[in-house]
Every structure is written in structure tokens, then in C-alpha cells.
Amino acid sequence: LTPQALGRCGCSDHRGADGRRLDGSGGVAMQLADIDPVAVVSQQGRAVEATKQPAANGLPWLRMLIATLGACALVGIGFGVGRSLPRAADSNGGHDATARPWPLSQPPPSQPRLPSPPPSPASPSPSPPPSPALPSGWWSYGEEWWDSDVDWEAPPTDGMVVTELNTYEKDGYVCSVKAGHLEGWGQACYHSSRSQLSGVVAKRVHTWVGPHVLGKTVETPADIDAVTDTAWRQNYKHTGDVLAQVLAGVDTALWDLVARNLNVSVCTLVAEVMGGECKSHMPVYGSNGNRETDLGLLLANAVHNHDKYGVQAFKFQIAQRMGGDVDITPNRTETLIPLARQLLGPEVTLLADANGGYDTIERAKPIAQLLIDNNFTFFEEPYPFWEYDKAAALGAAMPGMPIALGEQEYRMDVWQRNVHAMDVWQPDVHYIGGGSRSLAVAPVSMEGGG
């Protein structure tokens, strides 16, 4: 029996020196020709035995072929039938993940599986919340909180106990959390042609983070920190940018919820945590255009916004996003930097973002010098964001040009280890996992001089 034939029947032919098959972990599985009776689960949950067929003693290869094909067919039947069995409803009206057919290699249990008992009248199972009335142009992704991976009972309606978690789409996904008569709102994701993760993020709000926030009392920033930390730790198998965006939606909604309950603004709440005060005004910059826009139109738009709206700072995209030292068009960056300063004047704050466009210091260093010559304030992500040592080397070689990093980073330990590479720290609330994790970065930044 050739490996190709085994592959066609869905089997693999892994054997030891003695001719016995080996399983995936290297242990002896069975001898191919000595197949014991196999118990297969039928749709009624009863066991059906199928024994190997006798074969002529003089044709061992034929006996082996028949046994192999029979085993493949029986396993396939058992798998298909097992998948078709209905899932047992658990006591909370969801599904019991343990209600699975018994292993095919073992006999069935002596007693049939009984359905789960109905919920106690004293503690009724939670029912799905009614769909709220949405503004025009909005739609709900779907409230899946009652079918989460963690069993919980409906909490009391009084106090700041989170009872609902919803996601809605409006130019991206936003979250809402409800506790008592209050509702807080936050942002989980925004539409991006580069990530195309909106639907994934919205679903994971319910399946990854929902089980760790529903039923929890959230009254203070410390309560939010606890929920955020638990959700991050319990989702260690999902750690990454998607989890951070999922968590950001819930976290920012919780900050809004707590602030509403205390009758203060989120700004005031953050200032209290940081030991400062909420400012009435903050400087902002205009992120001007994109790399595909004609330079003349791009700069004319910046001048217009400066003259009409009083915008006093602009950030321009230079190089090519993750371009490997190759500009999006030849000499675009070298033309843009001095021309922006010439047209906008000496008093306007100018910033540059390369989005990881350079790979070598030989290419990045002359651009940093050009930025210094034209009085730009910082050079953001000269290299791919994970290249912290390269960024630190560029900063050391060009001390007159501050290096800005951190927008894409979501791991707290990476933040702490790379304080040496950053002159300007840029935790993005959206990418780092919300307000609580952003605030955790601030003390580290200040201790490192950022």
C-alpha cells in the first residue's frame, strides 16, 4: 500500500522499524493489519460495532488494504455522525461545550445522556436584550453575550453591574456597555482597507472580552484596570493587535460608563488618576493627506487649513509605507520637507511620519538631517515599528532629531524594555488596548524622560 493511496483515503503511513504505525507524538498507535472492532456513534446515540472482514491467508497485502480502507471509512462516518448530533442546552440557555459523543475507541456509556434540567425558577436564565433603536445609518452586529464561554447568572439591576455589551457599526465599530440605567460608549475598531478586521473585532468583543466584563461591578478606574488585566491574561492565546483593538472598545466604554456614574467627564477622571487636572484646551495637529496625493494639492490644502481654521501644526507622510528604503515616487520626500516649511512659514510646527519606510541608517540618516535643517519637531517610525534598536541608533547618531515611536505597540513589556529608543512616546488607545493600558505607559515614559 503506497503513501499516495493512504493519502487518498485520508490516512497517513507513519511506521517504526518494526512495521508498526506511529502516532503524531511518536508513540506506537497500532498495527495496520490488527484492527480491533470500532464503536461508531449513530444519530440516535447508540453504538454500532463493525468488525474487520476475514481475508485470504495467502494475500496479506489485500488484508492490509481492506483493513486500512475500512478503518478510514469508519472513522469518517463516526466523525460526520458525531458532528451531526445536536448540542445539549446548558442551564443558562447557551450550549454545553462538554456535550460531545464519547470517544470512538471506547464503548458507549451504560446509560444514555440525559438532557440538562430546566433552569430553576428562582434564578431564571438571562434572555437576549431587546435590540435598541439605532440612529439612521447604524446597525447592530448582534448581541451574543448570552452565549459566551463563561457561565454566569443575570446580575441584579441595581448598582454598577455590567448587564449588557453591544457592538454597532458606524464608520467602524463602537461598543456600548450598560449598568443600571447608564450606558457608556467606546471605540473598538475603525474601517481600514489595510486591516479588514472590522467584523472579526466586533465578534471577538463578545466572545473574548464579554465573558470577563458581564456581571462585574465597575465603579472606579481600579475596577476597569482589573477587568482589563483579567481579559488580557485570560486571552493569552489570542495576544496581539486584534485582541488589543477588541479590548480597547470595551475599556473605553467602561471609562465613559464610570465617568457618567460619577457625573464627571472622562478627562476629569483621567486627570484624577494621573494626579493632574483636566485642561480645557489641547494643541492638535492636522494629519495632512496621503502619499498618493499630488504634492501641490497636498501643500495647498495645508496652507488653506492654516489660514482659514488656524491650524498651527501639521504631520506629513514621507517615504513609502514599509517601503524598504524606496520612496513612493523618486525624490518626493526630499522635495516635500523643505517646500512645506517654505509655504507654511517658520512658526508652524511640522512633523514627519515614515511609517517604517527605511531599512538602513544610510538612507534614514540624510532624511533626518533634512528634517533638522527645516526645523521639524520629530521623526516618527523611521524603521518598521519593531526595529527599536535601529531607531535608537539613529537617534544617537542624530541627537537633534527626536524619534517618535509606539503607535503600533500593544505589549507592555516591550514598552518598558524600549524606553531607550524613544524620545516621543505614542501609545495609541486603539492599538494598545484602551485607556487603562495607555495610562500604564505614561509613568514609564516619564521615568524614561519621554
CA angle (163 as vertex; 159, 167 as ends), nearest 5: 135
Instruction: Give pLDDT tens digits for 314-373.
Output: 999 999 999 999 999 999 999 999 999 999 999 999 999 999 999 999 999 999 999 999
Residue 385 and residue 409 in contact, taking contact as beta carbons nearer than 8 Å: yes
Q: What is the mean pLDDT of the chain?
A: 73
- pLDDT (0 to 100) of residue 67: 53
Whether the pLDDT of residue 68 is over 70: the answer is no
- Whether 55 shows a pLDDT value over 50: the answer reads no
Q: Which of 88, 78, 87 is nearest to 41 (CA)?
A: 78
Query: Among 62-66, 158-162, 300-304, which stretch is predicted with the lowest mean pLDDT?
Result: 62-66
Distance CA 439, CA 224 (A): 12
What whole-number distance in Å separates Cα of residue 78 and Cα of residue 58?
31
Task: Report DSSP letters for 216-249, one per residue.
Answer: -B--SHHHHHHHHHHHHHHTGGGTTHHHHHHHHH
Q: Which residue has the higher pLDDT, 234 or 29?
A: 234
* pLDDT value, residue 74: 43
Tens of pLDDT, residue by residue over 189-216, are 766 555 567 778 888 999 999 999 999 9
Q: What is the pLDDT of residue 416?
A: 84
What does the alpha-carbon distance between residue 130 and residue 163 come to, in Å, rounded to a whole number?
13
pLDDT at 69: 54
The two beta strands, 28-30 and 38-41, are unpaired
Question: What one-letter code names the amino acid at 123?
Answer: S
Q: What is the pLDDT of residues 4-21, one digit of tens each?
A: 433 334 343 444 444 443
Residue 265 in grid coordinates = 467627564
Q: What is the pLDDT of residue 208?
A: 94
Q: pTM (2 decimals)?
A: 0.65
Query: Which pLDDT tens digit goes with each residue over 93-127?
Result: 333 333 333 333 344 444 444 455 555 555 454 44
Q: What pLDDT sits at residue 231?
A: 95
* CB 341, CB 371: distance < 8 Å: no
- Which has the minimum average pLDDT: 59-68, 132-141, 215-224, 372-381? 132-141
- Strand blocks (E) in 134-181: 139-140, 162-169, 173-179
**What ranges make up the beta strands (E) of 221-358?**
286-287, 313-317, 349-353
CA dist 372 and 59 (Å) reads 84
Confidence band for 272, pLDDT divided at 50, 70 and 90: very high
Q: Are 447 and 441 in contact (CB under 8 A)?
A: no
Backbone angles phi, psi at 431, to 5 degrees: -95, -20
